[in-house]
């Protein structure tokens, strides 16, 4: 299925007057709206291939309908999202869930939809049917060198697939760790992991980055070998200039101050990318902005402050990806909501009066500092985000149009009622 441009234009036409009124009202009280709009137009979020199917929990999985059955259909799905919002111009693949058997035709298909390939993800947290050695007791940390070797080779394989597709980064998330005290020698596990990562690092092309993703818990519940940003940063520093830390919002212990983590990683030049999602308890992978939108805003505020301090390009210098997937919403509707939440938080953070904030901080005027942040946060920026979409040829209200065009119904007609997307 494809969404023709005229359908988007028709929809926007129908809602043009109301939008104009709301946009002009909001814009009238802001300065530099044009600058904000351009930044929003440029900002693109990578969509994870594994979020296009309905996720499960360890208790069950209620498969959706009309889900993508192969990589081509996953690209088609992200193409639909991008047509609707023009803000999801990239897809992030997971190997072996998305092995491109014909890279050049996959690349061409993505280009047809205006998509590029974001970070490639390796997988050494599951055993594959044709795999020789098991990852039950870890992969890169494993006590057996042969298992570590297998994990390294897999990652090098993933890099090769990525090169063929024009990607330029590799995300390594390891489930390695231990579930019981005494199971692991922490120092040896770290050193084995470092050595394995070094071998992968050595295989990175010059223009590539490696993102080391950390996570405090799950599937191991006593220790994780890349357990927090400190450990990830240790690896990244030891690996070299192409290695960075990747922050997944759901991977912290409760109440962690993620915005502070982001700020310090940026200061060190070691923040590489993001996995956006939201959570109430752990790595819940819920829709971005559905639980803690203020935290998301505060994170974006630090991101912008830190990127500007280093002269970084907001749109291109970090890997912006979603990592969310769950089991009750239509995955495409969920992703539209996630992208919208990211754009809203980004827009709000762009509105922070940073000069005034710096002044208030210098004076220790704590109440004023809070007022300045919340002035931006409480601005209804939805019309600004919608205007940015309008200017880039997307729909004023992507989710509403998704429903009006009966996208899911069309996909069910094409793909069938009972489909299971490959992945988790």
Of 323, 334, 340, 387, the residue at the interface with Zn ion (CB under 5 A) is: 323
Q: Which is nearer to Zn ion, 248 or 302 (CB)?
A: 248
* Per CB under 6 A, 278 contacts ligand AOS: no
* Per CB under 5 A, 138 contacts Zn ion: no
* Per CB under 6 A, 229 contacts ligand AOS: no
Token readout for 128 is 């594959």
**Cα separations (Å) of 131 from 126, 151, 154, 193?**
10, 11, 10, 20
What secondary structure letter does DSSP report for 228? S
**Cα separations (Å) of 116 from 58, 195, 209?**
32, 31, 16
277 binds, among Zn ion, ligand AOS, none (CB under 5 to 8 A by kind): Zn ion
Q: Which is nearer to ligand AOS, 244 or 377 (CB)?
A: 244
Of 44, 85, 277, 290, the residue at the interface with Zn ion (CB under 5 A) is: 277
CA distance 82 to 76: 10
Token readout for 10 is 């028709």
CA distance 419 to 416: 6
* Per CB under 6 A, 252 contacts ligand AOS: no
| Shortest CB 29 distance to Zn ion, Å | 36
| Shortest CB 183 distance to ligand AOS, Å | 20
* Per-residue contact flags (x/-) with ligand AOS for residues 84 to 123, judged by CB under 6 A: ----------x--------------------------x--
Beta-carbon count within 10 A of 241 CB:
10
Positions 312 through 351 that interact with ligand AOS (CB under 6 A)? 323
Residues sharing a CB contact under 8 Å with residue 98, sequence separation 6 or more, in sequence order: 49, 71, 74, 422
| Shortest CB 367 distance to ligand AOS, Å | 38
With beta carbons less than 8 A apart as the criterion, state whether 41 and 26 touch.
no
Looking at the DSSP assignment, which residues form a beta bridge with residue 243? 210
Site stretch for Zn ion (CB under 5 A), options 123-131, 243-251, 255-263, 297-305: 243-251
Of 11, 50, 201, 300, the residue at the interface with ligand AOS (CB under 6 A) is: 50
Torsion of CA 262, 329, 121, 86, to 10 degrees: -70
| Shortest CB 171 distance to Zn ion, Å | 8
Q: Which is nearer to ligand AOS, 118 or 305 (CB)?
A: 118
Provide Rg for the chain, Cα atoms. 22
Sheet holding 46-48, edge to edge: 116-117, 90-92, 46-48, 319-322, 271-276, 243-248, 209-213, 169-173, 120-121
Place of tokens 């790595």: 283
Name the residue with the smallest CB distance to Zn ion. Answer: 250
* Per CB under 6 A, 424 contacts ligand AOS: yes
Q: Which is nearer to Zn ion, 208 or 211 (CB)?
A: 211
Q: By CB under 6 A, name the binding residues for ligand AOS.
A: 50, 94, 121, 173, 213, 215, 248, 275, 283, 323, 424
Q: By CB under 5 A, name the binding residues for Zn ion.
A: 248, 250, 275, 277, 283, 285, 323
């Amino acid at each position: 299925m494809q969404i023709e441009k005229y359908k988007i234009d028709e929809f926007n036409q129908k809602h043009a007057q109301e939008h104009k009124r709301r946009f002009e009202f909001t814009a009238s009280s802001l300065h530099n709206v044009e600058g904000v709009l351009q930044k929003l137009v440029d900002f693109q979020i990578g969509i994870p291939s594994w979020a296009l199917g309905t996720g499960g929990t360890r208790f069950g999985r209620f498969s959706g309908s009309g889900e993508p059955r192969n990589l081509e259909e996953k690209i088609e799905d992200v193409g639909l999202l991008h047509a609707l919002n023009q803000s999801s111009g990239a897809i992030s693949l997971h190997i072996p869930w998305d092995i491109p058997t014909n890279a050049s035709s996959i690349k061409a298909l993505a280009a047809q939809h205006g998509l590029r390939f974001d970070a490639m993800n390796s997988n050494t947290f599951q055993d594959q049917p044709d795999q020789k050695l098991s990852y039950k007791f870890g992969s890169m940390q494993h006590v057996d060198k042969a298992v570590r070797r297998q994990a390294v080779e897999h990652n090098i394989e993933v890099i090769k697939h990525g090169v063929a597709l024009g990607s330029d980064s590799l995300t390594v998330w390891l489930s390695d760790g231990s579930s019981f005290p005494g199971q692991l020698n922490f120092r040896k596990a770290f050193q084995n992991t470092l050595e394995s990562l070094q071998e992968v690092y050595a295989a990175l092309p010059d223009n590539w980055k490696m993102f080391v993703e950390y996570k405090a818990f799950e599937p191991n519940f006593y220790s994780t070998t890349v357990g927090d940003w400190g450990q990830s940063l240790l690896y990244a520093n030891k690996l070299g200039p192409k290695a960075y830390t990747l922050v997944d919002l759901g991977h912290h212990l409760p109440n962690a101050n993620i915005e502070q983590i982001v700020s310090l990683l940026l200061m060190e030049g070691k923040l590489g990318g993001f996995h956006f999602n939201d959570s109430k308890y752990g790595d819940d992978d819920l829709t971005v902005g559905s639980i803690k939108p203020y935290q998301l805003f505060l994170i974006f505020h630090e991101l912008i402050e830190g990127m500007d301090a280093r002269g970084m390009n907001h749109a291109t210098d970090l890997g912006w990806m979603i990592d969310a997937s769950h089991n009750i919403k239509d995955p495409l509707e969920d992703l539209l909501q996630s992208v919208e939440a990211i754009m809203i938080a980004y827009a709000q953070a762009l509105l922070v009066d940073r000069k005034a904030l710096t002044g208030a901080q210098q004076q220790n005027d704590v109440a004023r500092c809070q007022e300045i942040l919340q002035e931006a946060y409480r601005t209804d920026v939805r019309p600004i985000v919608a205007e940015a979409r309008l200017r880039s040829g997307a729909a004023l209200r992507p989710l509403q149009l998704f429903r009006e065009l009966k996208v899911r119904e069309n996909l069910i007609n094409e793909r069938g009622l009972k489909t299971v997307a490959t992945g988790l």
